[in-house]
Amino acid sequence: MRSIGIYYAYWTDSWEADFLPFIPKVKALGFDQLEINGGALVKLTGQQRMKLKESAEENGISLSYGIGLTANYDVSSLNENIRREGVNFMKRMISAVADMGGGMIGGTVHSYWPATPPGNLSVKENILKKSHQSMKEMIPLAEDLNVILNVEVINRFEQFLLNTCQEAVDYVEEVNSPNCKILLDTFHMNIEEDSFFDAIKLAGPHLAALHLGETNRKPPGCGRIPWAEIKTALDAIDFNGPLVMEPFIRPGGQVGKDIALWRDLMPGADLDKEATKAADFVRKTLC
């Protein structure tokens, strides 16, 4: 049975939050997993992290961690000082996740977000090489501490380095570590991939987790993503990783700005009820 998770920022307009109340909440709503901000985890004290870990264990909830590295921590930067800062920050995050018992960090662990493409795309190859260098510096620590780094394939309007599954496969094969995997996202795939089935099949054993969202980032079941096709592909590769919903529907705050939410996508919606409905849909459709 594939586990079903949800990202905490569905309920917030700030990337900084008290994650503790979300653990019993998502349990009550029918989820198996909560994804939280890995960058914020670094700032917590050891005692605060222990409280999160204990609450997750008491509620039977798995934790995973998302990150959109900011430009000052860009591990793909051609500026060596910025690149080193990014690598050091990621190492602190890996250690923080290890304190929680290990697990997955997914997102732009390979670059930064939201990103502005370089003015001259001819330097993209050099940026990619810097990203490879950084990942190879981070991954030994991840291997030692039982942490998986999932490079996320993100659409061209938010990032420029890895826009397709093929680019991500090339990336992880270059890194060549069992702890460097791929995170696909149905919202981004809808923009960039010719086929959901083919992309998932291509990722194969490299695919560690799948983010779920409709074409406009509403919760699964509210739109036109071809979920049956996705289920067929997941079954074809014997995927047993987590299915983590990442819906964003309310404008406002830094979250709304970064996600480019300029209107309320579901006016008057009860977020908790919609989350439960989506969890039921995913369980029936993809598990």
Q: Which of 35, 192, 193, 246 is catalytic?
A: 246
Q: Distance (Å, rounded) from C-alpha 245 to C-alpha 48?
A: 25
DSSP string, 84-130: HHHHHHHHHHHHHHHHTT-EEEEEETTS-SS----SSGGGHHHHHHH
Q: Which of 152, 192, 193, 274 is catalytic?
A: 152
Is 214 a known active-site residue?
no
Q: What's the distance, CA 167 to chain centroid? A: 17
Is 246 a known active-site residue?
yes
- How many residues make up the chain in this entry? 287
Specify whether the CB–CB gap between 199 and 184 falls below 8 A: yes
| Phi, psi of 150, deg, nearest 5 | -100, 110
Q: Are strands 147-152 and 4-7 parallel, antiparallel or unpaired?
A: unpaired
Catalytic residues: 152, 246
